[in-house]
Structure 1
């Protein structure tokens, strides 16, 4: 049997084999080496960016209560944190939340799998990347984006909080995006829960011993991140803040 070639997602378009581009849409947008011809194409890019926001808003507007889950795409099935991701997705579903992830493998797949197997709403917000191939099979409601900034808006706008499993640069990017929005009062009640005390301890130590000690953040900023070891604890924190969230969602 011939193996099906991996699919490359470019917005709503699926590409395979020789049609897979060598660069991403985000990369071309941010590329500083292009000549002055960009002034003729960038206004049209605005229309495409607008279309991504419209598509995201239209798809997710009636989603209902939801929680965004982040974590490494490199987590392997069978690992401890993959199992906790599955449990987290299941418990969030049982608590009445839809589960939103980046739609990829690893921690994202785990949370989507838990929601899917529990009969909940499993959402994946995919992104055009050169090293990932579309949404994982546990996503029931998926939107593919070309631009990171459009996608990141959806993670915050349609979620009542974040749960963050161990991850790398992408996970940290989403984490500190939410912390910054909370710090600057763009969102005023938005629980952010870190899963895995041992993994997150060095980062939390840096935040306290360096950022706070050097006066880079305020004392109240130390309490914006809550760390637990079990998915049930994370869900309890999200649920306990639920009564305060309705009037504080970003418009």
Structure 2
């Protein structure tokens, strides 16, 4: 396994750099005398002499890519504070100056088929995000899928918050798609699990129940969210959004976000890392797509043992959007069958997830 180095103190304590991965370091003043065979320099600044030594040793250097508003070789996930840096709640239009908005505009300008340089930059960024996500995941995280259109003043949003509270009290690490609606409500509930102020928070944020198509509207939506939610040393609420749907900002409820450019990588990745199972709350086409992507993984065992699929909302999943019966039919006689339930009872859902965790 390669040694990964992203700060100078760690570098100076690692004399043998054979096969090491060095990321984002200014090495122009560093005296690297040890072997560099097979080293990988990602976004580092090398002196001419060091560049020659690295090339002679067979090391690879990936240079800083200019004129992009994001860190191509980042080594950590995004926090809401980083994505929304520069936002002034008293000036909702200031959302347009945030990192999140600037990266989205850049991506939109390039279009769906960016030139080779920018396409490579986006792929390298997304690979770095996947690596950073792997580093913070522990145990068997549970994902919750559901509609992005739920407004903060709706009964569905409140039900998703209550689900999050239950998952938080059961000490699950919870993943969502990182956007608005159910994707915001569930992590909000997880973070409020030890508080008695759920009603007060919902009353406060319902002043901006949804956002429109412009940055000022998003700013009003963002400004209504509390900034004093509890955090943990190891994040228990992780969003996995995408700039492909950048018109929907990442929610401020998740402690960290693994934000991607490629939606296909984001979708498959979210389903793959949810090794503790997935809870499906009512949603539309995107949620149904995730149901069958997830079941395909479980059916073929392509990424590990079959994990729970919890369809929360019987009438919706059996009648309104009858995806659950088809999944159950396809799973008949296979390992996945025992881990599929359709229920209205959150306690029943938690019992199945907990049983799987203990297995």
TM-score (norm 1): 0.75
- The aligned runs of 1:124-203 (5 Å cut-off) are 124-130=239-245, 132-159=247-274, 160-186=276-302, 187-202=304-319, 203=321
CA distance in 2, matches of 1:96, 1:18: 34
For residues 56-94 of structure 1, the C-alpha deviation after alignment (integer angstroms, 9 at most, x for no partner) is: 222342322311111000112233321221122122122
Partner residue in 1 for 2:348: 233
SS in 2 for 1:111: helix
* Superposition pairs of residues 1-251 of structure 1, within 5 angstroms: 2-7=91-96, 13-16=99-102, 19=105, 22=108, 27-28=112-113, 41=116, 45-46=119-120, 48-65=122-139, 66-118=141-193, 119=230, 121-130=236-245, 132-159=247-274, 160-186=276-302, 187-202=304-319, 203-204=321-322, 207-208=325-326, 217=330, 219-220=332-333, 223=337, 225-244=340-359
2:129–2:259 contact (8 Å) kept in structure 1: no
Runs of at least 5 residues in structure 2 that lack an aligned partner in the other structure: 1-89, 194-229
Aligned length: 224
Root-mean-square deviation (Å): 3.2
The structure in which a higher percent of residues are strand is: 1
| C-alpha deviation, 1:131, in angstroms | 6.1
CA distance, structure 1, for counterparts of residue 250 and residue 324 of structure 2: 34
Secondary structure in 2 aligned to 1:226? strand
Q: Secondary structure at 1:227's aligned position in 2?
A: strand
Q: Distance in 1 between matches of 2:92 and 2:348?
A: 42
> Any stretches of 5+ residues in structure 1 without a counterpart?
30-37, 245-251
| Bigger mean CA deviation after superposition, 121-130 or 98-107 | 121-130
Contact 2:328 2:340 in 1 (8 A): no
Cα offsets for 1:119-151 (capped at 9, x unmatched): 562111111145634211211111211011221
Q: C-alpha deviations, 1:106-126, integer Å up to 9, x for none?
A: 111110101122256211111
Instruction: Return the alpha-carbon distance in structure 2 between the equivalents of residues 87 and 122 of structure 1.
Output: 15
| Contact 2:104–2:243 (CA under 8 A) maintained in structure 1 | no
CA distance in 1, matches of 2:323, 2:100: 43
Rg larger in 1 or in 2?
2
With normalisation by structure 2, the TM-score equals: 0.54
SS in 2 for 1:220: coil
Residue aligned with 1:188, SS: coil
